[in-house]
Amino acid sequence: MMKAIVKTSPSAGARLAQVPLPRIAPDELLVRVHSASISPADLAAWSWKGWIKGRMKLPRVLGREFCGEVVEIGELAKGFGKGDFVSAESHIFCGQCYQCRNDQRHVCSNLKILGLDLDGGLAEYARLPARCAWKHNDESLKELGALLEPFGNAVHAVQVEDVVGRSALVTGCGPQGLFAIAIAKASGAKPVIALEGSAYRRTLAKKMGADTIIDPGAKGALEKVLKAAGGRGGVDAVLEMSGEHRAIDLGLKALRPGGRFTAFGIPETNPSLDYAGGLAFKGARLYGISGREIFATWYRMENLLKSGAVDIRPAVTHTLPFADYRKAFTLITSRGKKCGKVILKP
């Protein structure tokens, strides 16, 4: 048996419970979890609101963002040895569908996601298909290992198109938005404008390198964004990382004609938006971001972190033991949002 954070009932919350040790399939690895961070999907499961109710089958071990040591190897899992340190790619792709055979494994037709469709890594041990394991060459990123999954989302969201010399607006400075700020800076965006309602997270946005930080609740927030963008008729690149209706609306209004809008944040309910004025008449380019390119984004991530071009450590504000999981979830879901990324350790 092992300890795991499990969603057992269709209502708010989750439990730290004893569950059976996972049994691996021939193409899988058993990973002794070193650390796991709390993802937006874990928060949706905890709150039990919105899209998650129609998707997650219970009971389910939560956690899509984790890393750890390989302790058991299935007979068909090649290229790994006991003691290897791996981070999990949470998008379990089939390898057979049209997308998989065209380098779009992250949006596989038969996609299953760890901690959502399959048991995840907020546990002492987790099973991981070998094809979805990222092996670390050394231990230099060990303490950031759980964060590679969400960091990869942000790398993909920012770098899906060149941002050199372009103004970027990051709407929402939760962990993904904070990562996006640092990546946009390192990728040559100027200025990087951040929009965030929590005073605590505005301070983190500053630490991550945002040039201008605006409270969306303040009077004239849109005008402030347009002024900061410097008079090209709006922002070149909007990186929508929050999924909040107000941020999506402001982002579409702030987008310059001919600019690009990157949709990453997942709203609890469908927003009503100015489709014609915000996108069509502007001749905008729209990118939906789901996951990371497997494994092209992972190589980019490793380069960005190991070269020192991006430092994501200031975005990690809390590291807690599993026993404090309630405190962790309450911290992230409370109104003031006085946290960045929260990591849990078994």
Given the rule CB under 5 A, which residues bind Zn ion?
93-94, 97, 100, 108
Exposure class string for 17-54: b at 16+ Cβ within 10 A, else e: eebeebebeeebbbbebbbbbbbbbbbbbbebeeebee
Smaller CB distance to Zn ion: residue 101 or 227?
101
Tell me the residue nearest to Zn ion as measured from the CB: 108
Please check whether residue 339 is in contact with residue 43, taking contact to mean a CB–CB distance below 8 angstroms. Answer: no
Smallest distance, Zn ion to C-beta of residue 121, A: 22
- CB nearer to Zn ion: pick between 108 and 344: 108
Query: Is 90 or 262 the residue whose CB approaches Zn ion more closely?
Result: 90
Smallest separation, CB 52 to Zn ion (Å) = 23
CB-nearer residue toward Zn ion: 100 or 141: 100
Q: How far is the CB of 11 from Zn ion (least distance, A)?
A: 33
Smallest distance from the beta carbon of 106 to Zn ion, in angstroms?
10
Residue 300 CB, nearest approach to Zn ion (Å): 22
How many other C-beta atoms are found inside a 10 Å radius of the C-beta of residue 204? 27
**C-beta of 99 vs 317, nearer to Zn ion:** 99
Check: CB of residue 130 under 8 Å from CB of residue 93. Answer: no
Query: Of the two residues 106 and 127, which places its CB atom closer to Zn ion in the complex?
Result: 106
Close Cβ partners of 290 (under 8 Å, ≥ 6 residues apart)? 106, 107
| Alpha carbon distance 150, 41 (integer Å) | 11
Judged by beta carbon, residue 46 or residue 93, the one nearer Zn ion is 93
Cis peptide before 295 (omega within 30 of 0): yes
Q: Rounded to an integer, what is the distance from CA 24 to the centroid of its chain?
A: 26
Based on CB atoms, which residue is closest to Zn ion, 28 or 244? 28
Closest approach of Zn ion to the CB of residue 287, in Å: 20
CB of 105 vs Zn ion, minimal distance in Å? 6
Closest to Zn ion by CB, 112 or 338: 112
Shortest distance in whole angstroms from residue 286 CB to Zn ion: 23
Nearest-approach distance from CB 184 to Zn ion, in angstroms:
30
CB distance 251 to 172 below 8 Å = no
CB 332 within 8 A of CB 38: yes
